[in-house]
Chain A
Amino acid sequence: MKTLFLLQFIFYIFGALIPALSGKNTRLASAASHLAAGIGSMLGLACALFVFASGIPFEWVFPGEGVFGNLTLRLDRLSAVFLFILSALSAAVSIYAVGYLKDHHRDARFLGFVYNSFICSMALVITAANAFYFLLSWEVMALTSYMFVVMEHEQKESRRAGLLYFVMTHLGTAFLMIAFLALFLNAGSFEFRDFQASASALAPAWKNAVFVCALIGLGTKAGMIPLHIWLPEAHTQAPSHASALMSGVMIKTAIYALLRFLFQFLGEIEAWWGGVILCAGILSALIGILYALMEHDLKRLLAYSSIENMGIVFLGIGSSLFFAASGRTAWAGFALIAALFHSVNHAFFKGLLFLGAGSVFSAVHCRDMERLGGLIHRMPATAAFFLTGCVAISALPPLNGFVSEWMTLIALFAGMQFQGLAARFFFPILASLFGFAGALAAMCFVKAFGITFLGSPRSSEAAQARESDGWMKAAMAVLSAGCVLLSAGAGWTAGILSRVAADLLEGAPADFLPSGQSVCVSGPAEMGRFMPAAGLGLLAVLPISLWIWRRLRLKQLKVRTGPNWDCGFSRITDRMQYSATGYSKPLRRIFSFLYQPLRRVEVEDEGHVLLRTAQRFESRIRPLFEEVLYRPLARWIIGLSEKARQIQTGHIQLYLSYILLTTIILVLVVRLL
């Protein structure tokens, strides 16, 4: 076990170094580097599964003393869940990268180095048991993912996205540092174990302050609205295989750390934390998906949908806190299982969708859905995998996304048991709004799949697209199979997660999930029930029998192929299809208070309306959060620095007197305190 665990890091380091050491053969070096990461991930997967099976947490301490405590890596059940997410996804992505980077990346070797360091840093974030090393790996993770974002640094958008990401992520890290330092002052050490042991000694005011700092710091990484603005930019600019990891795993390391804070470091849980997280969750879910619907860039759409999905995870965590604070431990456990399960599920289907988007990009060299279409005829396998991801993310019954969203919905329904009208009323409203977000997600992915893969091509590039190679298809097949298996085995997965929840909450796994590890999932007190395997089975058997009937029936009938019905109008062109922008037009009108759409038509003519020479059309929505929240903030900060500049004259004597003044003030302050 120990060798297995350490070997994965050795493979990552090895994989990072291969490109640097190897000779001129870029393609081979890149392939070897990514395959090393793949093997490392398999080992990580084995470790996570081992911890699930045995239930024994694993710990390894780096020999030798450090200033900030020892480098300790611990793999308990909670870490194992996230190591499972990381390893499963990066194993598939590594396979994918071999094919994806084959021809169009001149810096494939550098990518190999960054890729391995990125995975390695995430594995360290998840397993580090010491706040100092956690922050160190957290920072490496931010830097390596920044490298991905600015990989195409010749382009302006890429640099802009990189800068935004850099600023936002460090803002978050600053808050996270404050939270950790406050815990350090209380515990007297950086060890997570000491944080946990001294959690009950934390004064209530400190506790709440640490909660706020941790939520802001980690919420930034998780893309929680209104701290989300970096996410759609960064995930779009990174190469697709990296976006898959960033969206599938990196933003979930924030969930991991948040769970550690809420359930281990902060002692007694306060109900209002749950309220705050629930509000942030429903805002992220609704606004995330509403913005996703407005996108016609495939990857930005997926990135916004990640915000929605993190919102769903927050809904699970928030209701779990609410339940735990009021002593309803059984429901707290159930809601926590839902949040963890959704994290796992989201990694699989969002990873799959980003890989699919990458395949589309490498075939068409375009992410703009207005120039895609009809790809199902030219890329049948990619289309089938992408559709699997779409059905899963839209939370439709046979696949895994539904199971965790269903659990979250049931947990929200259970919130109606509370005393007090406000709390009881709050939960069903949340549940119905969550249902609304789910229905919008279905619309969003009908659009994503329908406009990209169905219909006829909207550009000549799309008409000449070619299917991806075997590596890429294999990776997508693995993730699609994961989506099906996680659904068929939902009862067992939930059973494993119920033990994780039992580690975080006081209670037995059997209270959280009475159905245990079986084919059926049901909530505490016989509330709610779903049999995923049976749904999957019915949806396999019924359509197949009808399909056979269809084959027999079609043999007896005459089936003719013909052009589309054109209402007698004979010049139907491909450009008359519904566009991605047109598809979401009704919503743009209905929710115009949120989108504040701008529409401009410019006509140039030669003196008369009929003699038009050029016509330009522009339509966009107002980025509300940037304009209302961030621009004024940025202006204020710039204004403040302008004022501060007045004391900077450039005279060295003045600076020396500043130093003297500061020293005197500090001495006074220290003496007086």
Chain B
Amino acid sequence: MAIGSVTPSKSPPGVRPALLLTLLVALLVLVCLLSLALGALAVPLDQVVAALTGGDVSSNVENVVWSVRGPRTAIGLTTGVAIGLGGTLMQALTRNPLADPGLLGVSAGASFGIVVSIVAFGISTLYGFIWFALLGAAAASVIVFVLGRMGRSGLTPVKLALAGIAVTSFLGSVTSAMVLMDVEALDRYRFWSAGSLAGLNGDVAVQILPFVVIGAALAFASAPALNSLALGDDVATSLGRNLALVRTQGVIAIMLLTGAAVAAIGPVVFIGLIVPHVARALAQSAGLGPDHRWLLPLSALIAPTLLILADILGRLIAKPTEVQAGVLIAFLGGPFFIMLVRRRKLAEV
């Protein structure tokens, strides 16, 4: 154990990390409540709680909380957890701080699936989009994974990253070609691609939940292996890790998590890029190293908080219209991220 090198802390080990987790959970709960309360019709927090616990509230409030904002918050929560975990996994697997969960071709595949569904099948409802997006995301990530594994050296981080970006560019090109040729398709596609939680009903959350649950289970199970992976391939192998197995597990988890999230709310992968950095910085300040057993839960808490926060702000700043959450995340997250980069001596991934 490294004792001497760590900055002396008055609290006994274990307390500060626990405190950090509690704080983040509390923050997430608060943000969820605010998400139910705020919007075109502001509902006082006590009424929100009453509506949730089946108390006595007007039917209007009950409708707003349960049918409009409830699903929206639930989707924000589910997709946020998914993207946060996906981002942390992606950066761990590629050992690249530039990696976002879309790097596996997931976003490009989902976009491609959606444009195909518009152009070839004339589908225009969000409910119909989702299956095509999921299919596209899954197909793209399987292709990236298979291509990245081919060749004698197997699945190295750089090959995975480059194969991902190559497939992403390929699909991106085909998608823009189709969109450029079909003005109607462009019209529907551009709203999805800005990334929004608005207008989704509860079915969407139910549709994506199984993917997210399985993905999250795989992610948490691979945490110890990711720690060995961070030490380099040779060390990880000598520690008894089966590299191919760890990477396959990680890629499947990313595919399920990010695919589901992107299919539901559009390519808001930036959140998956910044959240791991935030999680690492927080872990460092709590006296923890870059330990994935901590980084994964931290990311899973931070990402939905940010996503829902962006969604709430999007409802409030441009009343009566809304600004898409995807747009606001970059505008909230960008400066915050840059500040973080400037203030901390970030540990390289």
Do the two shown chains form a genuine complex with each other? Answer: no
> Which residues of B does A touch, CB under 8 Å?
none
Give residues in A with beta carbon < 8 Å to B: none
